[in-house]
Amino acid sequence: MRKLLPLLALCAPLLAQGADWKMDPAGSKLEFIATFEKNPAPGVFREFDARLRFDPEKPAGGSLEVTVKVASADMNIPDVNKEIRNKDWFDYSGFPQAEFRSSDLRRDGKGYVARGTLTLKGMKQAVEVPFTWAVSGDGATMEGEFTLKRGDFGIGLGEWKATDTIGGDVKVKFRVKLRKA
């Protein structure tokens, strides 16, 4: 029993909360797709990190934390990249980081949903992040997409609040490659 105790202690968090996963940045991508004059206008956040505690069989005990370096946004158009750093948009200097913290994870149909709080440009909003889970070798991939309203986060202030030129909905798409920590 004395010999088993440390082993049990090691296993306990695993049994209760699933395994810890770390993101592999090389295989991961975080995209946001805005609309510009009724055209999709895609961008990416080049720097972000996700930490996950997850057991696909028992998602309830898990957690998901994502941090995003907002200034790593790239919309692939030099003039646009120059604009989005400003106070009316992402306000890089005021709010350099965005984050998502889950309050609970649960199964949803064939996939999962992480419910939690997204903090972006200093605003907190409850969001639901649906994702699929695929295991390959010693790693796993979570993928999903959801839609945000940029107005909820004060992105696009003043005359940019109008949604006829720059649409109100922004689709967020992610593919996160994970390795067991």
Partner 1 sequence: MIRNDIESWSPVAKLFHWAMALLIFAQIALGLAAVSWRISPTKLNLFVWHKSTGMLILALLALRLLWRLSHRAPELPWEMPLWERAGAHLSHMLLYALMIALPVTGWVISSASNVPFKIFWTIPLPAITGPDKAVSDLFAAIHGWLVTLLALVLFAHIGAALRHHYVKRDTVLSRMLPWGTS
The site for partner 1 (CB under 8 A) is made up of 36-41, 76-80, 83, 159-160, 162, 164-166
Whether the CB-CB separation of 51 and 20 falls below 8 Å is answered with: yes
Long-range Cβ contact pairs of 145-149 (< 8 A, separation 24 or more): 145/171, 145/172, 145/173, 145/174, 146/171, 146/172, 147/171, 147/172, 148/118, 148/172
Name which of 144, 166, 173 is nearest 43 in CA terms.
Answer: 173
Q: Considering beta carbons, is residue 42 or 111 the nearer one to partner 1? A: 42
Least distance (Å) between residue 15 CB and partner 1: 50
Minimum CB–partner distance for residue 38 and partner 1 (Å): 5
Tell me how far, at minimum, the Cβ of 146 lies from partner 1, in Å.
22
Least distance CB 162 / partner 1 (angstroms): 6
Q: Indicate the residue among 41 and 44 with the shorter CB distance to partner 1.
A: 41
- Rounded distance, CA 172 to CA 55, Å? 24
| Shorter beta-carbon distance to partner 1: residue 81 or 125 | 81
Residue in 16, 131, 152 with CA at minimum distance from that of residue 66: 131
The residue assigned the tokens 């994502």 is: 66
CB-nearer residue toward partner 1: 81 or 132 = 81
